[in-house]
Amino acid sequence: MMVTDEGQISVDFLLGISIFLLTFGFVIQFIPSLFISTSAGGSLNPVAYRTANILADDPGWWQNKTNAQNGTDWEMHLNDISRIGLATDATPSTRQTRTPKMLNKTKILQVLKLNKTMLTSKLGLYNKISGSQVDYGYNITLEKNGSPMIINGSIISFGETPPTSQDIYKITRQVLVETGNIASFRADEVTTGSSSDKVIVNISGPQSEDVIIQIIDINITNPNSSFDNATLNGSLNIPSDYSVYKRTNTSDFIYSTTPIPLENSTDALRLIFNHTLFPINTTYQLELNFTRMNFIQIWPPYIEYTSKIEPLYEPATLIVEVWK
């Protein structure tokens, strides 16, 4: 009898404690899912926001304490960088730039040369936890139409490949990126050769960057006008050395194959010539051949590419991704 009584008590205790433990286990399991979304959710968003802001809106800063010099042109002083920013700046001696959101090509290309330790510390992508430095993972990419941009043959992306298993904090900024040089001519200011449908432009070599020529405000009088081809110093270029883009009033510049029909006065042409076509120190004569066009005939001296050269900016997206 005594034995049966004792047994009943321990079954009861067992039941009570197992209900308690089961619920406790459930609660413990529940806690992480309850808090993880909120506590971790915001912690790196400000970091991504700050990094994107400094890169897009600030020209950066360098400082040399020994000879007391400083400026925003850190791309020329890679050993004395204080802060990395990509915005272009016409006055490197003052701290502010009047052109935020317009990213400078030299600065972008110089960033790619910096090593990871330098980038992490100058972009402030780390946290100090009880005295030791914990680096964040990051990836910073310039994208145009969903694919990374390529400037002077380099893909503009630095950092690591984002992991798939972790939360990633992402900020995107719309920016204008300097990708090269362009000379934009109105149709009434270009010089022509022997006939009124041949445009001649002088290009002085050597050129280290691709030569981009744009012709706008084309006055079209004949319905069958077209652009046919480009020749350099009288010899025909192989098509792979240059490409032609056409803009109409309904589309931006899109790649076209010659001959390109010109139908509307709002049509514009953009020609991109590989810089390897202009390797030596001489003046190259570029002829653009049209059909049934009447450019106003202006005789030599021919117009110079370098006289109208300006930086070419393209709209792009700056993507900053940060993770722990």
* Residues 45, 48, 49, 50, CA torsion sign: positive
Reported as half-sphere exposure (CB side, CA atoms, 13 A), residue 179 has a value of 21
In the region spanning residues 199 to 258, those forming contacts with another protein, defined by CB under 8 A, are 214, 247, 252
Element (H, E) at 2: helix 2-39
C-beta separation of 92 from 75 below 8 A:
no
95 binds another protein (CB under 8 A): no
Asked if 18 is part of the footprint of another protein (rule: CB under 8 A), the reply reads: yes
| From 99, 231, 237, 294, residue interacting with another protein (rule: CB under 8 A) | 99
* Contact status: 102 vs another protein (CB under 8 A): yes
Please pick, from the candidates 71, 85, 92, 100, the single residue that binds another protein as defined by CB under 8 A: 100
For another protein, the binding residues in 280-319 under the rule CB under 8 A are 310-315
Tell me if 8 contacts another protein by CB under 8 A. yes
Amino acid at position 42, single letter: G
- Contact between 288 and 187 (Cβ < 8 Å): no
Asked if 236 and 299 touch (Cβ cutoff 8 Å), the reply is no
d(CA 255, CA 227): 13
**DSSP for 162-225?**
PPSSS--EEEEEEEEEEEEEEEEEEGGG-EE-SSTTEEEEEEESP-SS-EEEEEES----STT-
- Of residues 26 through 65, those in contact with another protein by CB under 8 A are 26-27, 30-31, 34-35, 37-39, 41-43, 45-46, 49, 56-57
Site string for another protein, 170-209 (x = CB under 8 A): -xxxxxx-----x-x-------------------------
Please count the residues of this chain forming the interface with another protein, following the rule CB under 8 A: 55
**Where on the chain is the footprint of another protein (CB under 8 A)?**
5, 8-9, 11-13, 15-20, 22-24, 26-27, 30-31, 34-35, 37-39, 41-43, 45-46, 49, 56-57, 98-102, 169, 171-176, 182, 184, 214, 247, 252, 310-315
